[in-house]
Amino acid sequence: MPEAMTRSATAKTRPKTKKGSDMGQVWQDLAVSNELDVGKAREGTLPKNQVRKVVVRALVDTGATMLALPREVIRQLGLFRKRTVPTLLGDGKLHRRTVWSVVTVRALRREAVVEVVEAPPGVPPLLGQLPLEALDLLVDTKAQRLVPNPASPDPKQAVVYML
């Protein structure tokens, strides 16, 4: 089976607006936890205060596929290597990146479990397509923010379409 290819864009400097914000960029605070620790805490085999977690400010990148985190954040979370994948960066070059174990990511009262790809050096955390879909969040480009999908405004609601 061929390895999956993931796409990640490097953070590029964009023109500044009069207010000084980055034009066209959407940033979101994310609470990220080691999912194995979360599971052990649910089972009662790990105290909840020992779950490894961080809060990161991520650039929402609809050209990226996965959640990309810097190596230092991956170390803080205690994730383990799963595999390497070819990754097409914003510069158009193919690089091999490491995919790490799963995390629980929380944003805007929503939660999802996703794999992590290691971000290239100097690139901020990136929130890509797969975690955006898992969280059921949409990019409001006019307001430069993430919003809950209006078709499922309740984060505890699951909308399943069946044929």
pLDDT of residue 14: 37
Domain count of the fold of the chain: 1
Query: CA 46, CA 41: separation in Å to the nearest integer?
Result: 5
Mean pLDDT of 156-160: 64
What would the pLDDT profile of 93-148 be if each residue is shown by its tens digit? 898 999 999 999 999 999 999 999 999 889 999 999 999 999 999 999 899 999 99
**Would the CA dihedral through 20, 11, 116, 2 be positive or negative?**
positive
Q: 156: which 2 tokens?
A: 């505890």
Query: CA 163, CA 161: separation in Å to the nearest integer?
Result: 7
Residue 7 domain-assigned (yes or no): no
Residue 92 domain-assigned (yes or no): yes
- DSSP assignment string, 61-83: -TT--SEEE-HHHHHHHT--EEE
What would the pLDDT profile of 10-51 be if each residue is shown by its tens digit? 333 333 334 445 567 999 999 999 999 999 999 999 999 999
Residue 19 domain-assigned (yes or no): no
Q: 67: which 2 tokens?
A: 């959640």
DSSP 24: T
Nearest in space to 127 (alpha carbons), one of 155, 108, 142: 108
Residue 119 domain-assigned (yes or no): yes
160 pLDDT above the threshold of 70 = no
Q: Indicate the pTM of the whole model.
A: 0.79
